[in-house]
Amino acid sequence: MPALSVNIDHVATLRNARMGREPDPTRAAHEAELGGADGVTVHLREDRRHINDDDVRALRGAVNVRFNLEMAPTPEMVEIALETRPHTVMLVPEGRHELTTEGGLDVVGQAGVLGPVVDAFAGTDTLVSAFIDADADQVASAADLGFDVCEIHTGPYAAIHHRVGGDRRQPDLIEELDRVRAAGGLIVSLGMRFNAGHALNYHNVGPIAALPGVEELHIGHAVVSRAVYVGLRTAVAEMVRLVRI
């Protein structure tokens, strides 16, 4: 039964729309906790389009569950993470013009950049995670570099699920779910933690949550969108029930 980490980036997006103080991401984190979230996730982007440095520091001191910091593998972000000491840092690719993360990290091609970042957290209590596509070579390279966690990018699965209307007999959906399952099995066999996330929502999360060995799901936009209608605490509680069936 996987844990649920709720990404609250878009609470900050709403706040920044008026350059004000509300809604407050720290209060949102508390609401997520009260709804049953096992963790809180934020992505500190280079352009600070939603979460900012002060948010990260405030959340690290206020969050009572696991705090996960998504970040690009840059010296600036490593410095911030070493200062704030989140429970997990998840390294992700980042493009200035993308609306959201568009694909997994190329661990194979960027081993020379990523290795020193992983090494920077050696001897700390912070786990280092790689956000990668469901690809055996990427998993193997992550293990070689010493990553503690691999989070499988579920965006392709979510896109197919939407296209076929969630019909679990459709060959494309079966094939993509099998790819995620195989990658997860390899992650576990190599001694790393298997997490999953991206574009998961109330309709498609079930098959991913049921995969063998998956330890944690990261879900944000769907939960914050649902919260517009029912409140964040309720939206999180509804997702928790789906994840833990």
Q: Tell me the domain boundaries of the chain.
A: 3-243
Separation of alpha carbons 219 and 6, rounded Å: 5
pTM, entire model? 0.95
- Confidence check: pLDDT of 87 > 70: yes
Is 43 part of the annotated catalytic residue set? Answer: yes
Per the listing, tokens 């352009």 go with 47
Query: Which CATH code for domain 3-243?
Result: 3.20.20.70
Separation of alpha carbons 141 and 123, rounded Å: 21
Is 70 part of the annotated catalytic residue set? Answer: yes
- Confidence check: pLDDT of 98 > 70: no
Band the pLDDT of 134: cuts 50, 70, 90.
very high
Catalytic one of 31, 198, 215, 218: 198
Separation of alpha carbons 78 and 84, rounded Å: 10
Catalytic one of 31, 33, 70, 215: 70
Catalytic one of 10, 31, 43, 94: 43
Least confident of 90-94, 102-106, 174-178, 200-204: 102-106
